[in-house]
Amino acid sequence: MSISCPYCETDSVQSLAMAYQSGLSHVSSKSKGTGAGTSGGHALVFSQDSASSGISQTALSQRAAPPEKRSYLAIILLCAGLYLALGISGLLVSIFSETIGSWMKTGGLICLLSMPVPLFFAFRFSGTQYPALLTQWNRTFICLKCGGEFTP
Ligand SMILES: [Zn+2]
């Protein structure tokens, strides 16, 4: 049985997982350059080595990327960062205005104390919504002709 696109009826379709994987490639390149020139009457010779590596991804692969998990660390860092930023700038501001300074310090404390709220939602997302999104992603196909996404 072959799967075909429900929109344009072509059979050149690919699962999202396959499209994502096949569009990822590790890139590493090395280049060496040599040059010569003069500067202020002195002759200069220079050479440069450069190497770069990374992951290259096609546009199709980017589009077919799996659902992302919520990062607990990002939430913790954001809340702690806001606490520190507001706390420190609150201390500085309170030199000029005690009221505004203490409001800023209170705001920072609120950011820190409310950290469990986004963590709770991220935790709930990982436990219930994420597995469903991942299952859906694993079952979804993309049409290579019209770009339509469908679940056969
Ligand atoms: Zn199609």
Strands (E), the chain: 13-15, 24-39, 42-57, 141-143, 149-150
Ligand 1 centroid to 45 CA: how many Å?
A: 57
CB-side neighbour CA atoms (13 Å) of 10: 13
Ligand 1 centroid to 18 CA: how many Å?
A: 17
Ligand 1 centroid to 134 CA: how many Å?
A: 23
- pLDDT at residue 149 in the model: 96
Ligand 1 centroid to 109 CA: how many Å?
A: 53
Report the DSSP beta bridge partners of residue 55.
26
Ligand 1 centroid to 24 CA: how many Å?
A: 23
Ligand 1 centroid to 9 CA: how many Å?
A: 6
Tens digit of pLDDT for each residue in 30-89?
666 666 666 666 666 666 666 677 888 899 999 999 999 889 999 999 999 999 999 999
Is the alpha carbon torsion for 135, 137, 143, 146 positive or negative? positive
Of the candidate ranges 35-44, 111-120, 137-146, the one whose mean pLDDT is the lowest: 35-44
Ligand 1 centroid to 36 CA: how many Å?
A: 56
- pLDDT at residue 38 in the model: 61
Percent over 90 (pLDDT), the chain: 73
Ligand 1 centroid to 14 CA: how many Å?
A: 11
